Amino acid sequence: MLIGQYFTKLTEKGRCALPKKFRRQLGDKAIIAKWYEGCLVVVGEKLWEVLLIKLTGKSEIITQPVRDTDRFILGSAFEFTTDSQGRFVIPKVLREYAGLKEEVVFVGLGERVEVWSKGAWSQREDYVQKHASELVEKLAKAKE
């Protein structure tokens, strides 16, 4: 299971190190793409399809929401492998989308990893902490 927060530096050319704990679980090949709330998502190649099914459902009809989700996620996706030290390059288009500059935060969320700029993650984490009880209530009501 991918869990925890790890901070790393981003080079001028967009290279950074994927945390060792995550590398072991993601496997040799992974995919990085745009994600929601202005961050990026990293998923191991084997779980990529599982994630897409969760997002778009199992419908065989390709509705507009499915097409738009495909455009947003698949249209921005890049495959990558890490070097012997676990480094890889985050494509410029993705760095710009997520506002990645110097410090990057990798957040493990079960089967996926989110990649945030340090500032954006700090703001998001503050929001979630302040609204945690409200969020749990909404989830409970949604399951009724």
Note down the domain range covering 82.
2-118
- pLDDT at residue 119 is higher than 70: yes
- pLDDT at residue 20 is higher than 70: yes
Residue 58, pLDDT score: 66
Please report which confidence band the pLDDT of residue 63 belongs to, taking 50, 70 and 90 as the band edges. confident
Burial of 97 (0-12, 13-18, 19+ CB in 10 A): middle
CA–CA gap between residue 75 and residue 133 (Å, rounded):
35
- pTM score of the predicted model: 0.90
Structural domain count of the chain: 1
CB atoms within 10 A of CB 89: 17
Residue 105 lies in a domain: yes
Residue 55 lies in a domain: yes
- pLDDT at residue 4 is higher than 90: yes
Q: What's the CATH number where 109 sits?
A: 3.40.1550.20
Residue 76 lies in a domain: yes
Residue 128 lies in a domain: no
Residue 53 lies in a domain: yes
Are the CB atoms for 143 and 35 separated by under 8 Å?
A: no
Residue 138, pLDDT score: 82
